[in-house]
Amino acid sequence: MRDVHLKLFLTSVILLLTSITAAQATAKDLPPVKVFLLAGQSNMQGQGVVDLDHPKYYNGGRGILERVMKDPAKAAKFKHLKDSAGKWVERDDVLVWYKTKNGLKKGPLTIGFTGYGGNHHIGPELQFGHIVGDRLDAPVLLVKTAWGGKSLFKDFRPPSAGGETGPYYKQMFAELNHVLKNLGEEFPALKGRRYEIAGFVWMQGWNDMFDKDALAQYEANLVHLIHDVRKALDRPKLPVVIGELGNGGPKASGNMLAIRKAQAAAAAHKEFAGTVKFVKTARFARLAKDSPNTGHGHHWFGNAESYFLIGDALGRAVLELLDPERSEP
């Protein structure tokens, strides 16, 4: 009888080990997870208001996502954000990881992956995730590393720029590397899966406008950043997308115009041909009177449509770099 029990036990162990091995083999045979690093300062964090409509503090809800989605002229473009029951869609094929000062936010792509608590704001990640998720035949992981009020000149300063490497440059990689080394623990559905760093998206520039040296060095520092990120990730041709500092709309002058020119010039460096794109965003700016945060010009007045359209444009740009033969309509 003891021998029978022993045989049954050994058979169970063998079956268990076989199933685990098969599962691991299957996971390794699947397409690699496409990982995108989204970095920058407060506008990458996300300031687009979803549903707050206090008449005093949020301008009665003008420009919030809920309101924009009900506009008959715009509803079709936004309809994928909610399901047939009117609930916010959660995409299990697009995952987000973002460590905020209030705690870690991770899970299926939906509203709320910003620096604020709760689910009342969006950033570029929302529509970016929908755009790349719809196109790519593999799971997508968006790792956000964004902090408000940070400069490229000091906070994100890349090593090859000389001087002290920025603490947030180091933190960006510390967080990305943590996620990649612990992929299965952070996202059990991805356990055993291979991954591929598919793109780097940069949206920053506000703080560098207000320092003479930072402004003068912005183009050079951005070029250094691209080179250093690629070197650190061992991806010499990693697709890179730079989102324009488009706050305030197309008519820009002074320091704002200088930053925009520096961003465009960095992307246009000859060695970046076909692998780096500068995305104009100024056309997505909306008027303060039509937005929830009328005094926050540095945050696109909190207008959700602006953040949605920025994410849309950034997503399409990265897809063009990944597959230049197939342009997105």
What tens-digit pLDDT sequence spans the chain (329 residues)?
555 454 554 455 445 444 444 445 577 789 999 999 999 999 999 999 999 999 999 999 999 999 999 999 999 999 999 999 999 999 999 999 999 999 999 999 999 999 999 999 999 999 999 999 999 999 999 999 999 999 999 999 999 999 999 999 999 999 999 999 999 999 999 999 999 999 999 999 999 999 999 999 999 999 999 999 999 999 999 999 999 999 999 999 999 999 999 999 999 999 999 999 999 999 999 999 999 999 999 999 999 999 999 999 999 999 999 987 665 44
At residue 229, the 3 state secondary structure works out as helix
128 & 20 share domain: no
CA–CA separation, 116 and 120 (whole Å): 8
199 & 232 share domain: yes
301 & 169 share domain: yes
Q: Which is nearest to 138 in space by CA: 36, 8, 24, 267?
A: 36
**65 and 110 Cβ atoms separated by less than 8 Å:** no
Residue 329 lies inside a defined structural domain of this protein = no
Give residues with Cβ within 8 angstroms of 67, minimum separation 6. Answer: 53, 61
The parent domain of residue 159 ranges over 32-322
76 & 194 share domain: yes
121 & 137 share domain: yes
77 & 204 share domain: yes
Determine whether 195 is exposed, middle or buried from the number of CB atoms within 10 Å of its CB (0-12, 13-18, 19+). middle
Please measure the distance between the N-terminal and C-terminal CA atoms of the chain and give it in whole angstroms: 70
The number of folded domains in the chain is 2
pLDDT given for residue 29 in this prediction: 83
In the chain, how long is the greatest CA-to-CA distance?
89
22 & 110 share domain: no
Give residues with Cβ within 8 angstroms of 170, minimum separation 6. Answer: none
Residue 328 lies inside a defined structural domain of this protein = no
177 & 304 share domain: yes
116 & 162 share domain: yes
